[in-house]
Amino acid sequence: MTPTNEPLDGIQARIEELQKSIANREAQIKARTRKLKEEIEAELSPVKIVEKHPFAVTTVFFAAGLLLGKAVRGKKSTSAPIRPVTCAQGERSASRSESALSAIGLEALRSAKELGFACLQRYIEKKIT
């Protein structure tokens, strides 16, 4: 505690000193937080992940494409004979939506493949040079 006979100016100076100290600490904390955020964003960036682990990412995209293709196409039985079937209007729209999903899945797989190969090529070029 402060003595009762301490001048008012001394108390005011101490308050200002504490306020400056608090402002400095706040600025330091904000700077550290900003730096940490940038480091985390850089570390978890999809481009950085692909550059660090090109083979693993390519494998994951390939497996995801296979699973997506299997899910979109569904299970097709090869043992049943193929015969023409007439469909109602509702069934036609369902098959159209399935074909649209299949096209979207294939396009996503192509894009992922291109991204993976581009990053793999960049990785190999960096290792060579």
- Among the listed ranges 11-25, 31-45, 68-82, which one has the minimum average pLDDT value? 68-82
Helices in the chain by DSSP H: which ranges?
8-43, 46-52, 54-73, 89-128
Q: What is the pLDDT of residue 33?
A: 92
Q: Residue 109 pLDDT more than 90? A: no
**Residue-averaged pLDDT of the chain:** 77
Q: Global pTM?
A: 0.36
Q: Residue 88 pLDDT more than 90? A: no
Mean per-residue pLDDT, 24-42: 91
Q: Residue 12 pLDDT more than 80? A: yes
Contact 103, 44 (CB under 8 A): no
Q: Residue 16 pLDDT more than 80? A: yes
| Residue 119 CB neighbour total at 10 angstroms | 20
- The string of pLDDT tens digits covering residues 41-85 is 877 777 778 778 888 888 888 888 888 778 777 755 455 555 555
Q: What is the pLDDT of residue 84?
A: 54
Domain range list for the chain: 1-44, 45-74+88-128
